[in-house]
């Protein structure tokens, strides 16, 4: 136990320390060489539609959010941006548009990942870009529409086109390409992809294998050609440990998707711990957060598991959460290409718990030491489980040796996520007085749940803007005639869950409309989508109960869907295991029938009937749901007024198609009974703190 307590002054900071925990100095030493090369810290946009609500943020708030993510020396200063290569199918929080919905066309204005990459590059020209498919359009999936690898030429051509579009249309150079997110990989495809890239002027594009666990390592050890094709191994949720086979390949090892944890201060603790421990335990040289920014409706799956949160384009409200500042502790004082010091010479665990990593600039002159002392219960990530361990406050002494022996002072940046057992206030990324280095020795007292950077780099900035507008619920009256968009964009706030919806100019009188583009079942990624052939697109507020939704719609003359719907009280999106329920008014123009159903699959029929005759392709449909009744009209003629099931009680508004195929939508109008503001407040972190009895 504690053998004594002494108050000492360390660089002007009074701190309590416990002599029992004072350990031998930890050497920081380059004289025996370096460890691995640092490949950066990044975030993922996609997998899927995680940036959807950021796109139409009002300025200046949109730029502010982008600055917190990407601007060097400001916030997270991300070094890698990994994006989804949209595949027209659900990939968790929605579906992202493919550049080739069909084999016979291509278009590089769809979706928002191009825009996001351009914004990131504008702020940091050195940011690395990494593309990865989650789903593929059906034609890439071959005859069975579920296996992209039956003919590797197809996916290689598809991905090559994406790279070409990035370059030709947006002047974007992609640095890394993945295979298929968390699904089977094909060795023949990986080899063909390498050859295709090399033959087409993309030999600079490196392949990451295989965005699953470490399984590709064994294949690489047995297959030299595969080893030559794959630049590095990307594992998801490695739990800070790599695998002996992966080490044996000699490849750079990445946590190419990690984190996924609610972004309160426990999330910040998780992120701080794994950023260090992925190298300390696993020799991983890059860690990429799913997701970069939580910009999808509450409560779609994994709400707020991004580095920060921006879910209100209608107000501009956003929240910079602790993972932004935890990221800054490393990214603001390093660059890709810096080198880690060796284990035991600048990298390791502290004896009292916690860890440190040291990184050195390519010229060997700059040194950055990142320390974390996250306690077990304040750094739990959602996966994998975290074995118990203890962290105590402790005095840490570093002994600077080799090239660093002459350093006399280190700049210091400090965060504390929790203040002992009481509530969090959280100190985030504060500059402290520099620490003196005396005869190569530097001492500091570290407490629990801290992140500290000691560095010779003099930059660093805790970027800030005036507070954004306050949070408000989604507007209860909402109209869009879709005239205000460039063609091929996705309409604002309509969060496509399955299928792909884009603005098309059909000429007078409707001009710009929203068109559902997907003609056949994609190579799906979300389970629920594999069991349907329908598209669904959500908008509004999950807590809406009473709502009127109205729109004009027209089934495509060619390749049209068998029908379409408007819906209210829709309880979920496409990324969950069960299909959505709600009140769905389906219109089948060709059969001249309507069907009111309690679910997306229209299996829970409520009422049905004949449509009044119509001379037009375009028809107006209106659904009102109020208390226990629903009423509907078609071209202002009454269809029904009936009792509806008590559940779901509330939910989103939605539009969509019955089968895959074209439907055009125009003049969407929503009027809802106002509800209280739903933005989930930061959780009370005391809930997470479970002191042992
Ligand atoms: C394309 O981007 C590069 C930097 O990556 C820049 O040097 C070049 O001028 C750009 N070309 C055009 C046409 O904008
Ligand atoms: C560091 O400490 C953690 C927690 O006790 C432990 O799981 C891990 O194996 C240690 N790593 C090394 C490299 O000593
Ligand atoms: C990481 O690399 C160090 C040598 O730099 C080695 O001692 C350690 O065993 C490696 N870790 C793993 C998990 O292979
Ligand atoms: C943590 O400390 C407690 C109390 O000293 C001890 O009972 C427990 O075994 C320790 N846990 C680990 C994983 O060392
Ligand atoms: C901790 O938080 C709770 C709920 O927010 C509050 O009631 C309480 O006063 C706080 N306690 C301290 C010590 O700040
Ligand atoms: C979807 O449509 C395809 C082709 O029309 C059909 O083979 C498949 O069974 C359908 N899937 C479901 C779940 O209905
Ligand atoms: C309709 O589908 C066929 C292939 O089935 C395709 O050749 C044609 O271009 C499509 N037309 C439109 C307008 O989508
Ligand atoms: C619906 O009817 C139109 C015109 O009668 C026809 O061109 C189209 O192929 C039909 N669509 C479907 C899905 O049956
Ligand atoms: C539907 O019927 C209820 C009574 O059952 C009535 O209160 C309501 O006004 C009707 N709505 C419409 C749109 O006719
Ligand atoms: C919707 O309202 C209910 C009841 O007020 C509340 O418990 C729930 O958290 C709200 N939903 C969301 C997504 O905030």
pLDDT value at 684 more than 80: no
In this prediction, residue 419 carries a pLDDT of 80
* Ligand 3 mean position, distance from CA 340 (Å): 12
Respond yes or no: is residue 105 known to be catalytic: no
Tell the residue nearest (CA) to atom 11 of ligand 5: 423
* Confidence tier at 420 by pLDDT (50, 70, 90): low
User: Can you state the percent helix, strand and coil of the chain, rounding each to 5?
Assistant: 15, 35, 50
* Confidence tier at 201 by pLDDT (50, 70, 90): very high
Tell the residue nearest (CA) to atom 9 of ligand 2: 281
**247-262 pLDDT per residue, tens:** 999 999 999 999 999 9
Q: Is 592 in the pocket of ligand 9 (CB under 6 A)?
A: no
Q: Is 641 in the pocket of ligand 9 (CB under 6 A)?
A: yes
pLDDT value at 676 more than 80: no
Pair of tokens at residue 453: 């950077």
Q: Which CATH number fits domain 40-336: 3.40.50.2300, 3.30.230.10, 3.20.20.80, 2.60.120.620?
A: 3.20.20.80
Burial 369-402 (b: 16+ CB within 10 A, else e): bbbbbbbebbbbbeeeebeeeebbbbbbebbbbb
Looking at ligand 10, which atom is closest to the CA of residue 678? Answer: 14
Can you name the residues that pair with 317 across neighbouring β-strands? 312
**451-499 pLDDT per residue, tens:** 999 999 999 999 999 999 999 999 999 999 999 999 999 999 999 999 9
- What gap in Å lies between CA 565 and CA 181, rounded to an integer? 31
pLDDT value at 18 more than 50: no
* Ligand 7 mean position, distance from CA 615 (Å): 25
- What gap in Å lies between CA 135 and CA 82, rounded to an integer? 15
**590-629 pLDDT per residue, tens:** 999 999 999 999 999 999 999 999 989 999 999 999 999 9
- Cα torsion angle, 576, 577, 580, 586, sign: positive
Pocket test for ligand 2, best of 280, 348, 352, 372 (most atoms within 8 A of CB): 280
Mean pLDDT score of the chain = 93
CA 473 from chain center: how many Å? 23
pLDDT value at 7 more than 90: no
Pair of tokens at residue 318: 């956003």
CA–CA distance from 81 to each of 120, 124, 290 (Å)?
8, 11, 11
Tell the residue nearest (CA) to atom 8 of ligand 9: 641
| Helix/strand/coil for 147 | coil
pLDDT value at 323 more than 60: yes
CA–CA distance from 274 to each of 287, 415, 470 (Å)?
8, 16, 33
Tell the residue nearest (CA) to atom 12 of ligand 6: 532
Class of domain 477-672: mainly beta
* Confidence tier at 22 by pLDDT (50, 70, 90): low
In this prediction, residue 627 carries a pLDDT of 97
* Ligand 7 mean position, distance from CA 144 (Å): 19
Q: Tell me the pTM.
A: 0.94
**548-576 pLDDT per residue, tens:** 999 999 999 999 999 999 999 999 998 87
Tell the residue nearest (CA) to atom 13 of ligand 8: 562
Looking at ligand 8, which atom is closest to the CA of residue 561? Answer: 13
Judge: domain 5-35+341-455, CATH 3.20.20.80. Answer: yes
In degrees to the nearest 10, what's the CA dihedral of 164, 62, 296, 172? 10
Ligand located closest to 560 CA = 8
Q: Is 242 in the pocket of ligand 3 (CB under 6 A)?
A: yes
Examine domains 5-35+341-455 and 40-336 and report if their fold is the same: yes
Looking at ligand 4, which atom is closest to the CA of residue 387? Answer: 13
**259-287 pLDDT per residue, tens:** 999 999 999 999 999 999 999 999 999 99
User: pLDDT > 90: what percent of the chain?
Assistant: 90
Q: Where do the domains of the chain lie? A: 5-35+341-455, 40-336, 477-672
Q: Is 631 in the pocket of ligand 9 (CB under 6 A)?
A: yes
Q: Is 50 in the pocket of ligand 8 (CB under 6 A)?
A: no
* Ligand 7 mean position, distance from CA 99 (Å): 16
* Confidence tier at 422 by pLDDT (50, 70, 90): low
Pocket test for ligand 1, best of 114, 124, 171 (most atoms within 8 A of CB): 171
pLDDT value at 17 more than 50: no
Tell the residue nearest (CA) to atom 7 of ligand 1: 171
* Ligand 1 mean position, distance from CA 127 (Å): 15
CA–CA distance from 414 to each of 117, 431, 450 (Å)?
30, 6, 7
What are the pocket residues of ligand 6 if the criterion is a CB atom closer than 6 Å to any ligand atom?
521, 531-533
Q: Is 511 in the pocket of ligand 7 (CB under 6 A)?
A: no
Q: Is 239 in the pocket of ligand 3 (CB under 6 A)?
A: no
* Ligand 10 mean position, distance from CA 111 (Å): 30
**Residues contacting 122, CB < 8 A, separation 6+:** none
Looking at ligand 6, which atom is closest to the CA of residue 533? Answer: 1
* Ligand 8 mean position, distance from CA 480 (Å): 28
Q: Is 422 in the pocket of ligand 5 (CB under 6 A)?
A: yes
- The owner of tokens 């407490």 is 447
Respond yes or no: is residue 231 known to be catalytic: no
Q: Is 420 in the pocket of ligand 5 (CB under 6 A)?
A: no
- Residue among 585, 563, 554 at smallest CA distance from 653: 585
Annotated catalytic residue, options 257, 312, 321, 490: 257
Ligand located closest to 298 CA = 10
What are the pocket residues of ligand 1 if the criterion is a CB atom closer than 6 Å to any ligand atom?
171, 173
Q: How many residues does the chain have?
A: 693
To 5 degrees, how large is the angle CA 276–CA 279–CA 281? 100
- What gap in Å lies between CA 651 and CA 428, rounded to an integer? 36
């Amino acid at each position: 136990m504690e053998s004594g307590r002494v108050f000492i002054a360390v660089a002007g900071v009074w701190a309590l320390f416990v002599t029992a925990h004072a350990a031998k100095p930890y050497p920081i030493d380059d004289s025996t060489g370096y460890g691995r090369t640092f490949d950066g810290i990044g975030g993922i946009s996609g997998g899927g539609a995680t940036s959807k609500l950021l796109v139409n943020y009002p300025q200046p708030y949109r730029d502010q959010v982008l600055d917190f993510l990407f601007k060097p020396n400001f916030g997270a200063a991300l070094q890698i941006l990994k994006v989804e290569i949209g595949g027209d199918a659900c990939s968790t929080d929605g579906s992202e548009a493919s550049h080739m919905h069909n084999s016979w066309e291509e278009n590089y204005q769809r979706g928002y990942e191009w825009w996001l990459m351009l914004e990131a590059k504008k702020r940091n020209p050195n940011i690395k870009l990494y593309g990865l498919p989650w789903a593929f359009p059906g034609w890439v999936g071959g005859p069975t529409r579920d296996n992209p690898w039956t003919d590797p030429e197809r996916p290689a051509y598809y991905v090559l086109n994406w790279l070409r579009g990035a370059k030709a249309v947006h002047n974007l150079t992609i640095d890394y390409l993945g295979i298929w997110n968390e699904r089977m990989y094909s060795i023949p495809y990986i080899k063909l992809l390498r050859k295709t890239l090399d033959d087409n002027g993309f030999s600079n594009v490196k392949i990451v294998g295989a965005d699953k666990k470490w399984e590709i390592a064994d294949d690489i050890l047995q297959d030299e050609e595969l080893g030559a094709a794959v630049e590095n191994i990307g594992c998801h949720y490695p739990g800070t440990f790599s695998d002996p086979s992966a080490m044996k390949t000699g490849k750079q090892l990445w946590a190419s998707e990690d984190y996924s944890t609610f972004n309160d201060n426990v999330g910040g603790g998780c992120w701080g711990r794994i950023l260090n421990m992925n190298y300390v335990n696993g020799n991983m040289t890059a860690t990429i957060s799913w997701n970069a920014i939580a910009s999808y409706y509450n409560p779609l799956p994994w709400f707020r598991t991004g580095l920060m949160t921006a879910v209100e384009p209608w107000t501009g409200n956003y929240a910079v959460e602790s993972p932004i500042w935890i990221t800054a502790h490393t990214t603001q004082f390093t660059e890709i290409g810096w080198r880690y010091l060796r284990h035991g010479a600048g990298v390791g665990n502290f004896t009292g718990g916690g860890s440190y990593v040291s990184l050195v600039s390519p010229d060997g002159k700059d040194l950055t030491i990142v320390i974390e002392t996250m306690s077990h219960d304040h750094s739990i990530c959602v996966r994998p489980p975290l074995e118990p361990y203890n962290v105590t406050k402790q005095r840490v002494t570093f002994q600077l040796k080799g090239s660093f022996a002459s350093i006399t002072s280190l700049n210091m940046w400090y965060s504390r996520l929790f203040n002992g057992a009481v509530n969090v206030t959280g100190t985030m990324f504060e500059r402290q007085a520099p620490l003196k280095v005396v005869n190569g020795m530097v001492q500091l007292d570290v407490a629990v749940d801290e992140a500290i950077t000691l560095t010779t780099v003099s930059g660093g900035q805790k970027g800030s803007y005036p507070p954004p507008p306050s949070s408000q619920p989604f507007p209860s009256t909402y109209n869009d005639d879709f005239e205000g968009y460039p063609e091929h964009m996705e309409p604002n706030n309509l969060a496509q869950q399955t299928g792909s919806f884009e603005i098309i100019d059909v000429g007078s009188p409707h001009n710009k409309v929203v068109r559902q583009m997907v003609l056949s079942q994609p190579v799906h990624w979300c389970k629920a989508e594999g069991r349907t052939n329908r598209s669904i697109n959500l908008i509004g507020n999950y807590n809406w109960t009473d709502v009127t939704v109205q729109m004009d719609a027209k089934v495509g003359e060619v390749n049209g869907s068998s029908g379409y719907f408007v819906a209210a009280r829709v309880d979920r999106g496409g990324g969950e295991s069960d299909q959505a329920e709600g009140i769905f008014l389906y219109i089948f123009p060709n059969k001249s029938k309507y069907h009111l159903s309690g679910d997306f699959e229209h299996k829970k029929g409520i009422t049905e009937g004949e449509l009044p005759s119509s001379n037009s392709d375009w028809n107006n449909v209106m659904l009102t749901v109020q208390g226990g009744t629903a009423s509907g009209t078609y071209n202002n003629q009454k269809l029904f007024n009936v009792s509806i099931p008590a559940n779901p009680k509330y939910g989103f508004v939605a539009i969509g198609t019955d089968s895959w195929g074209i439907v055009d939508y125009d003049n969407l109008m929503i009027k809802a009974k106002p509800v209280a503001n739903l933005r989930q407040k930061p959780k009370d972190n005391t809930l997470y703190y479970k002191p042992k009895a």
